[in-house]
Structure 1
C-alpha cells in the first residue's frame, strides 16, 4: 500500500522537466518550421540566469526585449544542420498555452532533407533531469527521439 502511495506522490516531490521540439519541412514551400514547447516558469528561470535580469514571459513589460531574449537563448541551445549544412532560423514569436510557452521559428526554403543533425540542450544547465523530446517530419514520415541530459544531440536519416 505504501508503494502505491509513493508512486502517486513522487511527482509532487520530484517534478519532471521536459520540452518538446517539432521540426517539419513543408513539402510545398520547402521551408522548415520549428516549434519549441517548454514550461514557461522553467524557461523564465533559464532566461533570468542567462541574461542576469528578470524576464516575465506571461506579462512582459517590454515584449520586444523578451522576444529578443527568447530568440537568442533558443538559437544558442537549439542548433540544426540539414544535409551537413547549418540552418539559419527566423524567430516568429511565442504564445502561452496553459503552463507552456510555444516558441516558433522558420527557415528559408531548403533542399529536401536527407539527414538532419540536432543539438538541443534547452534547460540542461538548469535541470540535471531535463529531457528534450524531438519530433521531425519530412515528406510525411515522422521520426521521434528523446535527449536526456547530458546527451544533447541526435542525427536522423530520411
Structure 2
C-alpha cells in the first residue's frame, strides 16, 4: 500500500513539473442564422503570458485596467493564430469578447453570411510560440454532425469535409 501511494505521489509531482498546455476550439455552423459561431477555451494564464510576450505590454485578463485594450489584443492575436476557410473562401472572424470561467478564458468569435458548409480548412497555432508542447483540440459541428481532431505543436492545419 505504501509503495502504491509513493508511486502515485511521484506521478502527481511529475505532472506539476510538466503542466498540460491545451486549448479547445469549437466551430459551429448555425444554418438558421447563417453564421459560423466560434469559441476557444484557452487557459487564461497562458493566454495572458503569450499576449505580454507578443505585444510587449503588461496584460491582466482577470482584472483589466482597460477591458477594451485587452479585447483588442486578444482579437488581434486570434486573428493571426486562428484562421478559417470555408469552401475555399478565407473568413474574417469578428471577435465578440471573452469571459473567464474557472481557469480558462472563453473567447467568442463569429462570421455572418455563411449559408452552407461543405469543407472547413483551419490553421490553428494558438500558443505555439510560447509552449512547444501545446495541443490544440478542434471540434467542428455542421448539420448536427460533429468532427474533431487534435493538433500537436507544430501541426497547425486541420481539414474537415461534410
User: TM-score range with shorter-chain normalisation?
Assistant: over 0.9
- Structure 1, unmatched stretches of 5+, are none
- 1:56 maps to what in 2? 60
Total equivalences in the alignment: 158
- 1:76 maps to what in 2? 80
- 1:109 to partner: Cα distance: 1.6
- The separation in 2 between residues aligned to 1:79 and 1:71, in whole angstroms, is 12
TM-score when normalising by structure 2: 0.94
- Structure 2, unmatched stretches of 5+, are none
- 2:31 maps to what in 1? 27
In angstroms, what is the RMSD of aligned CA positions?
1.0
- 1:30 to partner: Cα distance: 1.7
- Name the larger-Rg structure: 2
- 1:9 counterpart = 2:21: no
- 1:111 to partner: Cα distance: 3.2
TM-score when normalising by structure 1: 0.96
- The separation in 2 between residues aligned to 1:7 and 1:118, in whole angstroms, is 35
Q: Is the 8 A contact 2:41 2:104 kept in 1?
A: yes
